[in-house]
């Protein structure tokens, strides 16, 4: 890039919802007034002490925050290099980081006077978190989920139904997360008056990428305090899997201006980035416009969107949040990849060494830690965002290991 | 004067409204698509919209989604759709052509070269669904430089404070989305439209066409009476889909069936006499 590096990496987005050239508001006119309304409501809410106090109360007493920062000693000894810490988002109520931003958004929806909630989900974690918050606040909830994902994430589908949500199985396209998001947007267009769309990641039209990031920053803010308390210094590296990239933005953002902290966003390489079957939008994609924002996308030479592939339903998305695209081009965050097989290996290793069954999403992050840590000195510190627990994935993993349950 | 302005001026002089038709380019295959396109003016289409197929048509209902997928399977690309327009222009110099689609294929083609090639191919206007006025600088300068009209959608959700901004970024004609929803899923009531159109007229001199909920000849006639034209898409895509064989291929009467529907719509629109 020929542009000078900014003084701060934490100033974005600009007034148009852009991070450099990325982001924006690429939606149909029917949605535009609503997007502006969400933006206005969020701008007011984020400076509203009572709103934030209520959100913090829910995070503490309902979600169980702060989540611990765990020194993974057996993993550290096994890898033989840097000290490895896990930020244990998997211990949150509902089993992943998604609930942090969902509670913020549901409070916002109530403040806006909306009476119905819709959401899209891939792995089902965001759907479960949204269904949970809607049960708590007594709001009707519809979750759009690709039919392929409905089949491979049955436990989460059942959870959502138990929580009182309707699950709409989406059969268009490849019937995965991208198509669930298309369908949620179509439904929203038709129900703008009473409905709030609770987006699960740092993508979509402005203000969603910034808003979801802000709510998820609780992860990085806590990590900073916890690592300073434990080690008296900041970590050398942060690692997190990226699909849309909400858990990674939440961990990275509070550290972006701390020059000594290296960051690694781990994309899903599926069967390998040189095959057709991966979900590595930054590594193998190029900038385009989809789902309301300009960002790196998997697309063919004619601008048609390609299907992503990952063993992890939560990473199976052909795009990535626009701020990640910007941080990539600015060179602040390194985007690397881990294959299905590497994630499966990390999944098993973590279970055996630490007694923690990680989500397949988080296992991609761990797979990179397994490459990174051995080459670092023993006094180096690496923090992995263990963004979700793997109970939902045991059927998928058993299938891939050839085990019949 | 542009082809679009010329056409609407002529219709005004004739004292009638416009029938605007929409079909996806390449649906179900390039040859059938071209044959339909060539037959449209004779069947009574006054303005022709061609959909540029996209994998993720966020504003479209199931019928047009499926039409787009059939077209993509048949090899549709933006360049292919421009070639279709060039072939059409060999026989027809008067009927305005508007391309309707999403931004990513244009971005991928290159906005500059696309606007240049579209104008050279005989395209008159563009509807880029996911580029609202807030993002207009992405394509407006290039479209203007090539004499292409940028036709914008106005929705029932577009409030009075926003209306002037959207309308000032519009040229050619105004496309009023008669429902809050995706294409082809519900219909607006005549009463809603009777209230909506004068609200727009206060802010614009441009012709106003109503779309997104117009299926039948009766609805088309009503839209032509209340506004300056009716846009019919889903009903035509459905007629096309209904004429295909089980493998989704065109049958010998596919072109005729679509054009018959256009003739019925056109008769109804022409039946409405308006002040010249």
Residue A5 pLDDT more than 80?
Answer: no
Q: Is A52 on the interface with B (CB under 8 A)?
A: no
Mean pLDDT (whole number) for A164-177: 90
Partner residue opposite B157 with nearest CB, options A34, A172, A289: A34
| Per-residue pLDDT tens over the stretch A277-291 | 999 999 999 999 999
E-only strand ranges, A20-71: 22-26, 69-71
The residue among B25, B56, B67 with the most chain A CBs within 10 A of its CB, best to mutate, is: B56
Say how many residues make up chain B.
276
Chain B residues close to A30, C-beta within 8 Å: 59, 153, 155-157, 177, 180-181
Asked whether the beta carbons of A298 and A270 are under 8 A apart, the reply is: no
Q: Quickly tell me which residue has 């699950």 as its tokens.
A: A167
Q: Is B107 on the interface with A (CB under 8 A)?
A: yes
Domain B3-146+215-268 top-level CATH class: alpha beta
Which pLDDT belongs to residue A2? 52
Which pLDDT belongs to residue A1? 45
Closest-CA distance, B186 to chain A, in angstroms, reads 10
Chain B residues close to A186, C-beta within 8 Å: 58-61, 182
Q: Please state, as a whole number, how many other Cβ atoms lie within 10 Å of the Cβ of residue A341.
A: 15
* Vertex A350: Cα angle to A101 and A245 (nearest 5): 30
- Model confidence at A198, in pLDDT bands (50, 70, 90)? very high
From-to residues of CATH 3.40.50.1100 in chain A: 19-59+98-208, 65-96+216-400
Task: For residues A225 and A8, give the distance between their C-alpha atoms in angstroms, rounded to a whole number.
Answer: 20
| From A87, A98, A114, A392, the catalytic residue | A98
Q: Which residues of B are catalytic?
A: 49, 60
- Burial class of A259 by CB neighbour count within 10 A (0 to 12, 13 to 18, 19+): exposed
| Per-residue pLDDT tens over the stretch B204-251 | 999 999 998 899 999 999 999 999 999 999 999 999 999 999 999 999
Which pLDDT belongs to residue A4? 59
Closest-CA distance, A237 to chain B, in angstroms, reads 35
Task: For residues A187 and A332, give the distance between their C-alpha atoms in angstroms, rounded to a whole number.
Answer: 37
Closest-CA distance, B66 to chain A, in angstroms, reads 9
Chain A residues close to B150, C-beta within 8 Å: none
Contact A29 B106 (CB under 8 A): no
Closest-CA distance, A143 to chain B, in angstroms, reads 17
Q: Is B163 on the interface with A (CB under 8 A)?
A: no
Q: Who's near A3: CB < 8 A, 6+ residues apart?
A: none
B window 202-231, beta carbon within 8 A of A: none
Q: What is the mean pLDDT of chain B?
A: 95
Task: For residues B68 and B24, give the distance between their C-alpha atoms in angstroms, rounded to a whole number.
Answer: 6
Mean pLDDT (whole number) for A293-313: 95
Residue A61 pLDDT more than 60?
Answer: yes
Q: Where are the domains of chain B?
A: 3-146+215-268
Which strands, in side-by-side order, build the sheet including A286-290?
Answer: A18-19, A22-26, A292-297, A286-290
Note if A183 is an active site residue: no
E-only strand ranges, A291-364: 292-297, 334-339
The reply to whether CATH 1.10.10.1100 applies to domain A19-59+98-208 is no
Per-residue pLDDT of chain B (276 residues; tens, 9 = 90+): 899 999 999 999 999 999 999 999 999 999 999 999 999 999 999 999 999 999 999 999 999 999 999 999 999 999 999 999 999 999 999 999 999 999 999 999 999 999 999 999 999 999 999 999 999 999 999 999 999 999 999 999 999 999 999 999 999 999 999 888 888 777 777 778 888 899 999 999 999 999 988 999 999 999 999 999 999 999 999 999 999 999 999 999 999 999 999 999 999 999 999 887
Share of chain A above pLDDT 90, in %: 91
Q: Quickly tell me which residue has 């369908």 as its tokens.
A: A183
Q: Quickly tell me which residue has 């708590």 as its tokens.
A: A136
Q: Is the pTM above the cut of 0.90?
A: yes
| Per-residue pLDDT tens over the stretch A11-39 | 999 999 999 999 999 999 999 999 999 99
| Per-residue pLDDT tens over the stretch A258-271 | 999 999 999 999 99
Q: Which fold has domain A65-96+216-400?
A: Rossmann fold (3.40.50)
Q: Is the dihedral of CA A111, A116, A122, A126 positive or negative?
A: positive
Task: For residues A241 and A387, give the distance between their C-alpha atoms in angstroms, rounded to a whole number.
Answer: 8
């Amino acid at each position: 890039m020929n542009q000078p590096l900014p003084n701060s990496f934490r100033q974005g987005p600009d007034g148009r919802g852009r991070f450099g050239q990325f982001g924006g508001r690429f939606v149909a006119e029917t949605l535009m007034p609503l997007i502006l309304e969400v933006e206005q409501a969020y701008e007011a809410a984020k400076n509203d002490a009572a709103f934030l106090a209520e959100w913090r109360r829910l995070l503490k007493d309902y979600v169980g925050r702060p989540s611990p920062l765990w020194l993974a000693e057996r993993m550290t000894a096994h890898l033989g290099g840097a000290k490895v810490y896990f930020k244990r988002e998997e211990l949150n109520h509902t089993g992943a980081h998604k609930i942090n931003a969902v509670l913020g958004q549901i409070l916002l929806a109530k403040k806006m006077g909306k009476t119905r909630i819709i959401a899209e989900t891939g792995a089902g974690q965001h759907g479960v978190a949204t269904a949970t918050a809607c049960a708590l606040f007594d709001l009707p909830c519809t979750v759009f989920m690709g039919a392929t994902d409905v089949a491979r994430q049955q436990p989460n589908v059942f959870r959502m139904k138990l929580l009182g949500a309707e699950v709409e199985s989406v059969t268009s396209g490849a019937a995965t997360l991208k198509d669930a998001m298309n369908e949620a947007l179509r439904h929203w267009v038709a129900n703008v008056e009473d409905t709030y769309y609770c987006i699960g990641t740092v993508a979509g039209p402005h203000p969603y990428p910034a808003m979801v990031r802000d709510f998820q920053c609780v992860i990085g803010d806590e990590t900073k305090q916890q690592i300073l308390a434990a080690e008296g210094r900041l970590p050398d590296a942060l690692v997190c899997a990226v699909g849309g990239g909400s858990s990674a933005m939440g961990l990275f953002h509070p550290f972006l201006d701390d020059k000594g902290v290296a960051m690694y966003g781990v994309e899903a390489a599926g069967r390998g980035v040189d095959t057709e079957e991966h979900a590595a939008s930054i590594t193998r994609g190029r900038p385009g416009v989809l789902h309301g924002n300009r960002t790196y996308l998997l697309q063919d030479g004619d601008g048609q969107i390609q299907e992503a592939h990952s063993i992890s339903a939560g990473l199976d998305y052909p795009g990535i949040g626009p701020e990640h695209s910007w941080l990539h081009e600015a060179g602040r965050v390194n985007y690397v990849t881990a294959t299905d097989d590497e994630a499966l290996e990390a999944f098993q290793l973590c279970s055996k060494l630490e007694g923690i069954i990680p989500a397949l999403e988080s296992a991609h992050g761990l797979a990179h830690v397994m490459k990174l840590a051995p080459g670092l000195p023993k006094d180096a510190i690496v923090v992995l965002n263990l963004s979700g627990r793997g109970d939902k994935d045991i059927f998928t993993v058993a299938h891939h290991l050839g085990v019949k349950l | 004067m542009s082809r679009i302005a010329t056409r609407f001026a002529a219709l005004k002089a004739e004292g009638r409204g416009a029938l605007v038709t929409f079909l996806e380019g390449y649906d179900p295959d390039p040859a059938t698509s071209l044959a339909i396109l060539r037959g449209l003016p004779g069947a009574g289409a006054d303005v022709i919209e061609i959909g540029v197929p996209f994998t993720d048509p966020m504003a479209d209902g199931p019928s047009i989604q499926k039409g787009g997928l059939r077209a993509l399977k048949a090899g549709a690309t933006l360049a292919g759709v421009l070639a279709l327009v060039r072939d059409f222009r060999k026989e027809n110099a008067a009927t305005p052509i508007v391309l309707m689609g999403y931004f990513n294929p244009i971005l991928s083609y290159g906005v500059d070269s696309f606007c240049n090639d579209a104008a050279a191919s005989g395209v008159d206007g563009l509807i880029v669904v996911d580029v609202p006025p807030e993002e207009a600088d992405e394509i407006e300068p290039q479209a203007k430089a090539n004499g292409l009209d940028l036709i914008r959608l106005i929705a029932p959700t577009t409030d009075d404070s926003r209306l002037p901004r959207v309308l000032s970024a519009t040229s050619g004609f105004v496309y009023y989305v008669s429902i809050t929803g995706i294409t082809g899923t519900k219909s607006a009531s005549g009463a809603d439209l009777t209230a909506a159109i004068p609200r727009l007229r206060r802010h614009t001199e441009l012709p106003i066409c109503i779309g997104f909920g117009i299926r039948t000849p009766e609805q088309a006639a009503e839209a032509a009476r209340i506004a300056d034209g009716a846009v019919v898409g889903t009903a035509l895509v459905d007629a096309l889909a209904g004429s295909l064989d089980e493998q989704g291929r065109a049958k010998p009467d596919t072109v005729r069936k679509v054009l018959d529907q256009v003739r019925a719509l056109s008769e109804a629109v022409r039946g409405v006499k308006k002040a010249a």
